């Protein structure tokens, strides 16, 4: 397997797709560099390159890798923030109606004790959901916790 084939295979692998590839080769023609870059290499150096240039190019690769990681983290944060806003709106608004009716049931004097208890239980659950939505909306740096099997969920803190 040559370097070009390795570049192709790395780019085809989902878990290595973001790997920064610096191809170091004995080939020194412009066409070779173009082919390497077209096959997925991020940078190209000949083996006769000055060692200082190799070091500088590796540092560039590290910066690019760090930028990819920062971008991925920013995208995760935006996703969590967007989901929290959506939850606040799409669940929070109907929850206000449920809370209002539950409060009426819990406090209405003409209702039986059983109905008032059920109204209070509904109201308590609705408040718990409202608090969860608030905690999710406050998350700046999402942390994840195991859920079921390989699945993780956002750690919303306190009692979730």
Residue ranges with strand state E in the chain: 22-25, 43-46, 144-146, 152-154
Beta-carbon neighbour count of residue 43 at 10 Å?
17
Q: Where are the domains of the chain?
A: 3-69, 76-154
| pTM of the predicted protein model | 0.65
Give dist(CA 2, CA 12) in Å, integer: 16
Residue-level pLDDT at 139: 86
Q: Which of 159, 86, 152, 81 is nearest to 127 (CA)?
A: 159
Residue-level pLDDT at 160: 46
DSSP letter assigned to residue 160: -
CATH number of 3-69: 3.40.50.2300
Give dist(CA 93, CA 91) in Å, integer: 6
Give dist(CA 69, CA 77) in Å, integer: 12
Confidence of residue 148 (pLDDT cuts 50, 70, 90): very high
SS3 label, residue 16: helix
Give dist(CA 23, CA 58) in Å, integer: 11
pLDDT tens-digit map of 86-141: 988 999 999 999 999 999 988 888 889 999 999 999 999 999 999 999 988 888 88
22-25 and 43-46 as β-strands: parallel, antiparallel, unpaired? parallel
Q: What are phi and psi of 155, to 5 degrees?
A: -80, 105
CB 11 within 8 A of CB 40: yes
DSSP letter assigned to residue 14: G
């Amino acid at each position: 397997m040559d370097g070009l084939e390795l570049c192709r295979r790395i780019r085809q692998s989902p878990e290595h797709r973001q790997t920064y590839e610096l191809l170091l080769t004995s080939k020194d023609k412009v066409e070779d560099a173009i082919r390497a870059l077209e096959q997925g290499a991020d940078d190209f150096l000949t083996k006769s390159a000055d060692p200082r240039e190799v070091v500088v190019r590796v540092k560039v690769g590290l910066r690019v890798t760090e930028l990819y990681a920062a971008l991925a983290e920013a995208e995760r944060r935006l996703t969590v923030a967007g989901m929290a806003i959506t939850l606040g709106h799409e669940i929070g608004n109907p929850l206000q109606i449920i809370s209002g009716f539950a409060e009426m049931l819990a406090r209405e004097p003409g209702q039986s004790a059983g109905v008032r208890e059920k109204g209070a239980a509904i109201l308590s659950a609705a408040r718990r959901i409202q608090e969860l939505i608030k905690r999710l909306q406050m998350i700046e740096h999402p942390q994840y916790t195991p859920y079921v099997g390989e699945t993780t969920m956002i750690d919303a803190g306190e009692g979730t």
